[in-house]
């Protein structure tokens, strides 16, 4: 009997098709397809042993070893896990790395249990190729970049737009030294897959925040990055007190809530303090020792005030961090790139930049 397949087309990702990834957990952790759950045929150690057997003795010996490792109660437990997921997601597809032996075995075992589900033709590799090609194609689309000093709520503006592309969300990182989030940063593969998924339904102009190429642990794909560097810009200009309020919300209040939700109030508070303290230390070489020590003292005082119900106290170290470090650095890069910089089509406050971005490319 021929086991059914489905082609690796982007509509599956756009429609948020449920997917069963039968690769080993170590493979899944490096990068999965959007919408996938990891229910492996072999766990990491089993895969490792089979891989050694394949290299040393060939495919037949590797298959025989795999059948021995995943048999009896172990095999039945894997089948039950697939069945349980399919009971909740009966439309799910199965995939492995290339749509080959592992997904075929999973299909056959399910067939033997009375459940027929297709596997993804070409597997993870074929779908990843399609996702990466979507990013390459998007590099040819019109782009508008939203620029501005730290604290100008560029990400908030992006997320007000139907054609906004929030790179920081895909990276699980807010872009600066202080941008780490409680969740693990995205792997390069998962960042690219999340970006491609967003781009599938955006076939015209894209509005994207001005970013460094590296965001957290991820790098913007080169062709897409080069297109961003040439794209026209709008630049938000807002007063310092307005920007401080935004930073206070993003990097203090929202961050505390995110850590508390993930780790509980006490541990979350400690982890948040450690993150912000370490972020300041990482800027030490650029700040200089005297400035670093001053900001560390102010930060420590702010944490003490915050613990007693006054999170506004963080302005004491955030304000000089902006005016003495981030703002001059941003203006230095503007001056350095003045001759080769792409056109700036509008400079104004947040609301006017939002209005321009909404009308752009219509």
Nearest CA-CA partner of 176 in 325, 286, 279, 315: 279
Q: Residue 328, Cβ neighbours under 10 Å: how many?
A: 11
Q: Taking phi first (over 0 means left), then psi (-120 to 50 degrees means alpha), and beta for anything else, what does residue 238 get?
A: beta
- Is 82 in contact with 106 (CB distance < 8 Å)? yes
Please enumerate in sequence order all residues whose Cβ is within 8 A of that of 147, keeping only pairs 6 or more positions apart, or say none.
Answer: 154, 210, 233, 234, 235, 236, 344
Please enumerate in sequence order all residues whose Cβ is within 8 A of that of 207, keeping only pairs 6 or more positions apart, or say none.
Answer: 143, 144, 145, 146, 158, 161, 163, 164, 165, 357, 360
Angle at 124 between CA 119 and CA 127, to 5 degrees: 95
Which member of 96, 132, 152, 353 is catalytic?
A: 96
- Is 5 in contact with 120 (CB distance < 8 Å)? yes
d(CA 283, CA 76): 53
> Which tokens sit at 157?
């503006």
SS3 assignment, position 203:
coil
d(CA 251, CA 224): 28
- Is 211 in contact with 154 (CB distance < 8 Å)? no
- Is 50 in contact with 66 (CB distance < 8 Å)? yes
Please enumerate in sequence order all residues whose Cβ is within 8 A of that of 223, keeping only pairs 6 or more positions apart, or say none.
Answer: 135, 136, 139
d(CA 260, CA 263): 5
SS3 assignment, position 4:
coil
- Known active-site residue 96: yes
- The set of catalytic residues is 96
């Amino acid at each position: 009997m021929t086991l059914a397949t489905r082609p690796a087309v982007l509509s599956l990702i756009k429609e948020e098709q449920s997917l069963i990834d039968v690769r080993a957990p170590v493979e899944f952790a490096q990068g999965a397809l959007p919408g996938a759950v990891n229910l492996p045929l072999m766990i990491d150690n089993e895969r490792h042993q089979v891989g050694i057997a394949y290299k040393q003795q060939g495919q037949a010996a590797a298959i025989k070893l795999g059948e021995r490792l995943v048999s009896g109660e172990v095999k039945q437990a894997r089948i039950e896990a697939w069945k349980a997921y399919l009971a909740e997601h009966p439309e799910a597809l199965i995939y492995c790395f290339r749509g080959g032996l592992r997904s075929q075995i999973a299909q056959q075992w399910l067939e033997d249990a009375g459940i027929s589900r297709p596997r993804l033709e070409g597997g993870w590799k074929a779908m990843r190729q399609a996702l990466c090609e979507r990013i390459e194609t998007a590099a040819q689309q019109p782009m508008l970049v939203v620029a501005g000093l730290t604290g100008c709520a560029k990400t908030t503006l992006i997320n007000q737009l139907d054609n906004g592309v929030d790179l920081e969300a895909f990276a699980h990182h807010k872009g600066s030294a202080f941008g780490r989030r409680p969740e693990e940063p995205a792997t390069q593969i998962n960042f690219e897959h999340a970006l491609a998924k967003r781009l599938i339904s955006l076939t015209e102009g894209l509005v994207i925040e001005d970013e460094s190429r590296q965001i957290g642990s991820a790098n913007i794909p080169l062709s897409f990055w080069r297109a961003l560097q040439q794209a026209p810009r709008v630049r938000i200009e807002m007063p310092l007190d307005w920007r401080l309020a935004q930073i206070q919300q993003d990097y203090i209040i929202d961050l505390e809530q995110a850590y508390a939700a993930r780790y509980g109030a006490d541990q979350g508070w400690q982890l948040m303090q450690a993150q912000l303290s370490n972020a300041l230390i990482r800027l030490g070489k650029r700040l200089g020792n005297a400035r670093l020590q001053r900001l560390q003292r102010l930060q420590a005082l702010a944490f003490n005030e915050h613990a007693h119900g006054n999170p506004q106290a963080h302005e004491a170290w955030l304000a000089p961090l902006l005016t003495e470090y981030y703002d001059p650095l941003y203006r230095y890069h503007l001056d350095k790139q003045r001759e080769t910089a792409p056109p700036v089509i509008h400079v104004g406050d947040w609301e006017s930049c939002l209005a321009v971005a909404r009308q752009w490319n219509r």
